[in-house]
Structure 1
């Protein structure tokens, strides 16, 4: 008994057991009873099996589909049994078995590989990040027999983690036979992503499997563990570490890239962690001027762009969204900041007509604030009364000592 044969037999037994259960339910809900027949005047006659006969096509169709599925599953059992028999003579047939495995691998994947499930193409407005891209390439470079390679990209919402991961994935098509993009905002999105990957790899056996996301996760995981091809798995927006439970691949020769706001996501599993910082002034100004079509050499545009970038904290999402607004409204750079101060809420809530990011600035910041702990939320509200930059820690610590408020206990606690 091999794991493959055991799994194949279990699929057969499961199919038969489920059909038996449906059969029992059918006969219990549709009993073989007599029904009145009033075709002969006033004499009540009976017609046996009327109700059963009326629903028989439904049951008969289920039976025929079950037989077809069992035929396909039986073929898999026969193949696994033959492989198991050959495996018993592994010492005498090593070369033959290796050749058969290579042949089987090529036959299974010849129609599905290369398989690159990436939601967007490379963005022509991608700026800077050369050092980060180099680190990702070095950390995740595919190499046979080196085990699983993994990296977490973490940073503020809107700092460009998703766009950086997209840039790397699209630029690495030649290095990986398979690239799978998994949206991990929620468990539903994650399972739907795995379902799409399962369909692309032709891992579903029938119509029911093609709709079962839980089965798809299991099948894709098994494929990742067994395949010899070079693959990259991207988990995007993993803000809940628990979401990775049950989907993290085994110690195979593959690569995993995660993006998250939380630096602790992947702790204990991921091999490397890399923080994504906002743009510095030089890159931010260059990006803003190019996106708005302004003169990169003009000193007036340079000065105005610098003020805008600094006001936006160098966040790539903010720079991209604001640039689109400036172009759309035909606003001069030197006039933008006063206008923005008067209309920030409306501008931040606007979404660009096209792009590879579904959130607006308002969405990103609302999500960030909503996920704060109670103590963090209290601190955030306190900081709103200070100047945005260079708030000295001692102001908070000394001030907390003078207060008896229980809400500020975390500022007085050494561990906090």
Structure 2
């Protein structure tokens, strides 16, 4: 057993494990001061998202105003140490989604400048490129501990459009990033 451990250690030398950590922040998300109850729902979300490390999806649905956003905020705060990064995306409409991806790109770029370099993103074409770069970063090997929360999903047609940034549950083939 000791010999096996030595061989593993030897093989791993020189292979720096990549760090995909992004500082936790929900600065653009409205939050109530005192979140009350819903412990059962929080536990259900935790159980659904825990497991073997594979990608998982949990959908909180219901009428507006019943607390889906606040439940998501509470979950993110309570379990922030379980994730290397937590991203909050407003998917009210296509423009909001693109702006949210731009914020995510800025977070990644700020903490990992050698990985994702932002250039001028004023044009829609550049924003689409940034969105793709974020998707590539999220799909990198060993980058599996992130949580992405989509909020304000009121338009079911948004996800069904042929728009290139529409959120897809299944893994997709992603273009080579501009920074590669």
In the TM superposition, residue 125 of structure 1 has moved relative to its aligned partner by 1.9
In the TM superposition, residue 171 of structure 1 has moved relative to its aligned partner by 1.3
Question: 2: CA distance between counterparts of 1:208 and 1:237?
Answer: 28
Match of 2:148 in 1: 233
Match of 2:100 in 1: 193
Gaps of 5+ in 2: 1-9, 110-114, 161-165, 173-180
In the TM superposition, residue 129 of structure 1 has moved relative to its aligned partner by 0.8
Match of 2:35 in 1: 126
Alignment: residue pair count? 149
Counterparts in 2 of 1:124 and 1:117: CA distance versus 1, 3 Å: closer
TM-score normalised by L of structure 1: 0.32
Whether the aligned pair in 2 keeps the contact of 1:117 and 1:181 (CA below 8 Å) is no
Match of 1:136 in 2: 45
Question: 1: CA distance between counterparts of 2:90 and 2:16?
Answer: 33
In the TM superposition, residue 213 of structure 1 has moved relative to its aligned partner by 2.1
Question: 1: CA distance between counterparts of 2:46 and 2:121?
Answer: 35
Instruction: Give the number of the structure with larger relative contact order, counting CA–CA contacts within 8 Å between residues 6 or more apart.
Output: 2
Match of 1:307 in 2: none
C-alpha distance after superposition, 1:13-55 (max 9, x if no partner): xxxxxxxxxxxxxxxxxxxxxxxxxxxxxxxxxxxxxxxxxxx
Q: Secondary structure at the match of 1:234?
A: strand
Match of 1:218 in 2: 132
Counterparts in 2 of 1:123 and 1:191: CA distance versus 1, 3 Å: same
Question: 1: CA distance between counterparts of 2:120 and 2:169?
Answer: 24
Counterparts in 2 of 1:194 and 1:249: CA distance versus 1, 3 Å: farther
Whether the aligned pair in 2 keeps the contact of 1:199 and 1:210 (CA below 8 Å) is no
TM-score normalised by L of structure 2: 0.70
In the TM superposition, residue 142 of structure 1 has moved relative to its aligned partner by 5.7
Residue 169 of structure 1 pairs with residue 76 of structure 2:
yes
C-alpha distance after superposition, 1:312-361 (max 9, x if no partner): xxxxxxxxxxxxxxxxxxxxxxxxxxxxxxxxxxxxxxxxxxxxxxxxxx
| 1:237-276 pair list within 5 angstroms | 237-244=152-159, 246-248=166-168, 250-251=170-171
In the TM superposition, residue 159 of structure 1 has moved relative to its aligned partner by 0.8
Question: 2: CA distance between counterparts of 1:198 and 1:251?
Answer: 19
Q: Secondary structure at the match of 1:218?
A: helix
